[in-house]
Amino acid sequence: GDSVTQMEGPVTLSEEAFLTINCTYTATGYPSLFWYVQYPGEGLQLLLKATKADDKGSNKGFEATYRKETTSFHLEKGSVQVSDSAVYFCALSRGYQKVTFGIGTKLQVIP
């Protein structure tokens, strides 16, 4: 079956540091890939997405590229802020509501 692998963390960074959160997946066909962010006490909200190989999703300084050859969708940001502290979920969808989420990576950014 489908699966998404990401580290649980926490990942602790100083403000303005470079962020990478790795995400790899296993799925048949050509799934759409997503990164969602969850702030404390809230539901998940979409951060970015990519629907086909080599697509790059970007939003709020975050980027991720859909790499079919390595089945990866790593999240990056050049300079994190304290306000980026949250839990980040990688997810894939093959349609018909078959969405698979990773376990979530907690990011802590310290001033």
Partner 1 sequence: NAGVTQTPKFQVLKTGQSMTLQCAQDMNHEYMSWYRQDPGMGLRLIHYSVGAGITDQGEVPNGYNVSRSTTEDFPLRLLSAAPSQTSVYFCASSYRDGDEQYFGPGTRLTVT
For residue 72, the one-letter residue type is: S
Give me the 13-42 binding string for partner 1, x by CB under 8 A, dash otherwise.
-------------------x-x-x----xx
Closest contact distance (angstroms) between CB of 19 and partner 1 is 20
Task: Pick from 20, 28, 70, 97 the residue near partner 1 by CB under 8 A.
Answer: 97
Q: From residue 65, how far is each of 40, 41, 82, 89, 91 by CA, in Å?
A: 26, 29, 24, 15, 14
With binding defined as CB under 8 A, does residue 102 bind partner 1? yes
Rounded to the nearest 5°, which phi and psi values hold at 14? -85, 150
CA 79 to each of CA 51, 60, 91: distance values in angstroms, whole numbers, following the listed order: 26, 11, 23
Q: Bridge partners of 64?
A: 57, 75
Among 28, 69, 70, 95, binds partner 1 (CB under 8 A): 95
Interface contacts to partner 1, rule CB under 8 A: 4, 8, 32, 34, 36, 41-46, 49, 89, 93-97, 99, 101-104
